[in-house]
């Protein structure tokens, strides 16, 4: 009976472990099969580098370059916000804050990470956008800059939490050895602790990028929705995710517009997969360096 129970547990956990792989393969196959009809009509180069996105024109134009450029603009701006705030918060919690402060700050940051994106979007639309419009004297506050700020705030808890976990895994002996040879606390932090936690910090930044570039509701609500090539951060833009969310309900099932939206999803999937592979590569590389150093 005991062996039967163990076998049941074994198969249950095996199915759960392989379920994620099955779902990933299913998503990949769906994106490819639904995107392929578009590429029979439009070359991949024209789809990726085309400068006009007018799916309802006759004939329609499916150039995603403005959408990709908007995603890059907003994601880069979000990084300028979340990386300093996230890593700075992680360093403060791990190296400076006392036990009581850390026990308060860590749960609060994790709660911020769990807030639904639509709440951030509503906050950006009602408070941040009017403020930016007034300060910079803009026609509208719904711009790439607004999206960058709100996305940066959204991604900060993710970066801070993962980076703090990485810093907490740095052995205490590393700090003690550095201080023993005459380094002060700042030198120990910069030259010993941060390099030793470089794997986790790099992973935190890359996952922050993935969070920002894959976000939908927030950018749909605060970036303005203009499918144009952005020339500054103070223009309305339309990233790839918001395009899918805004237009999928209006696209004719099985039409070219429908297939084009799946093709955008395929591009996003490839970009996110690339960043996750990069995070794993950097993490493994740092582990090997750390192991060689020991």
Structure token pair of residue 208: 């922050």
- The DSSP 8-state label assigned to residue 252 in this structure reads P
Q: Which pairs from 89-94 meet CB under 8 Å and 24+ separation?
A: 89/156, 89/160, 89/164, 90/159, 90/160, 90/161, 90/163, 90/164, 90/166, 90/167, 90/201, 90/204, 91/163, 91/167, 91/189, 91/194, 93/160, 93/164, 94/164, 94/167, 94/168
Cα-Cα-Cα-Cα torsion 185, 186, 188, 194, nearest 10 degrees, comes to: 130
| Domain 53-293, CATH homologous superfamily name and number | MetI-like (1.10.3720.10)
| Confidence at residue 244, expressed as pLDDT on a 0 to 100 scale | 92
Residue 176 and residue 63: Cα distance in Å, rounded? 57
| Confidence at residue 114, expressed as pLDDT on a 0 to 100 scale | 82
| Confidence at residue 285, expressed as pLDDT on a 0 to 100 scale | 66
pLDDT per residue as tens, the chain (294 positions): 667 777 777 788 778 878 878 888 888 899 999 999 999 888 888 899 988 898 888 888 899 999 999 999 999 999 999 999 999 888 888 888 878 888 888 888 888 888 888 899 999 999 999 999 999 999 999 999 999 999 999 989 889 888 888 888 888 888 888 888 888 878 888 888 888 887 788 888 888 888 888 888 889 899 988 888 888 889 999 999 999 988 988 888 888 999 999 999 999 999 888 887 877 777 666 665 555 555
Q: Which of 282, 228, 221, 263 is nearest to 246 (CA)?
A: 221
């Amino acid at each position: 009976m005991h062996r039967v129970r163990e076998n049941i547990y074994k198969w249950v956990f095996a199915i759960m472990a392989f379920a994620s792989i099955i779902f990933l393969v299913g998503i990949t196959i769906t994106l490819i099969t639904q995107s392929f009809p578009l590429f029979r009509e439009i070359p991949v180069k024209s789809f990726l580098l085309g400068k006009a996105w007018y799916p309802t024109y006759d004939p329609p134009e499916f150039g995603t370059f403005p959408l990709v450029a908007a995603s890059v603009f907003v994601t880069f701006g979000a990084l300028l916000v979340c990386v300093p705030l996230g890593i700075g918060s992680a360093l403060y919690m791990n190296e400076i804050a006392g036990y009581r402060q850390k026990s308060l700050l860590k749960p609060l940051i994790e709660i911020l990470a769990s807030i639904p994106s639509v709440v951030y979007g509503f906050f950006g639309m009602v408070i941040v956008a009017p403020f930016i419009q007034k300060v910079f004297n803009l026609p509208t506050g719904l711009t790439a800059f607004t999206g960058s700020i709100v996305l940066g705030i959204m991604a900060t808890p993710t970066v801070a939490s993962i980076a703090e976990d990485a810093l907490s895994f740095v052995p205490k002996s590393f700090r003690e050895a550095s201080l023993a040879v005459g380094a002060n606390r700042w030198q120990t932090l910069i030259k010993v602790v941060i390099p030793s936690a470089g794997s986790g910090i790099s992973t935190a930044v890359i996952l922050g990028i993935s969070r920002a570039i894959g976000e939908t509701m927030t950018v749909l609500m605060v970036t303005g929705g203009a499918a144009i090539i952005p020339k500054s951060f103070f223009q309305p833009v339309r990233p790839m995710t918001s395009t899918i969310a805004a237009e999928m309900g209006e696209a004719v099932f099985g039409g070219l517009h429908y297939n084009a939206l799946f093709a955008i999803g395929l591009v996003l999937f490839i970009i996110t997969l690339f960043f996750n592979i990069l995070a794993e590569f950097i993490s493994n590389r740092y582990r090997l360096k750390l192991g060689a150093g020991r």
